[in-house]
Amino acid sequence: MANYCSFETTISGSPERLAELYKRLGNDGRIGFDDYDKLFDEPAPEGFDWGTKWVEYSVSYDEGHDWMSISGDTAWYPASGLWQRISEKYDASVDSTYSEPGGDFAGKDEWSSGENTFSEQMTYNEHLYYNDYEYFWDNLTNECAGLDLEDVIDSIGSVYEKMSDSEKQRVADIHEAENE
């Protein structure tokens, strides 16, 4: 069974090209390697890598708009190859964020007309700290039970070094409360 890598992707481009992409994707679904020609009207190039085995998704799109959002899950890793190819073939800008707690990774990638313009990777805890601060603390509470404080600090990673003194104290307080 795959670890699920969650993603949120925004695609911006001409309303005509996005309408064409939406027609091929629909509101939601599941696509994999065998669906390449469905999206691009050509067979997949030799050695093409989507980045993952499959993509389960939901699309939010209003006809005539110059953007759409797609969210869902992939198997194990982000669908970077797919987003790059959509950016290239539909002459679009694609911004995608992803996170996979089981593999302890997250990141953000951006493409413009197929060219990768930004890529950032981080641990899952870093992602939570910077993108969902309250959930970071909720998640930390769940992770603290049964661990030494040093192990908790290690699991937080480089974020701990950037924390304020009051945040570091909050980590210690949560750890103490969960291990009484």
Report, as an integer, the average pLDDT of 10-14: 98
- What is the residue whose two structure tokens read 């570091």? 168
SS3 content of the chain, % helix, strand, coil (to 5): 40, 30, 30
Question: Cα separation of 160 and 153, whole Å?
Answer: 7
Beta bridge partners of 91: none
Q: Sorting pLDDT into bands at 50, 70 and 90, what band is 115?
A: very high
Structural domains in the chain, sorted by start: 4-122 (3.30.70.1270), 128-178 (no CATH)
For residue 66, pLDDT over 90 is answered with yes
User: What pLDDT score was predicted for residue 135?
Assistant: 94
**What count of Cα atoms within 13 Å lies in the side-chain half-sphere of residue 89?**
16
Selection from 108, 25, 116, 9 nearest residue 67 by Cα: 9
**Residue type (1 letter), 67:** W
Tokens, residue 21: 């992409």
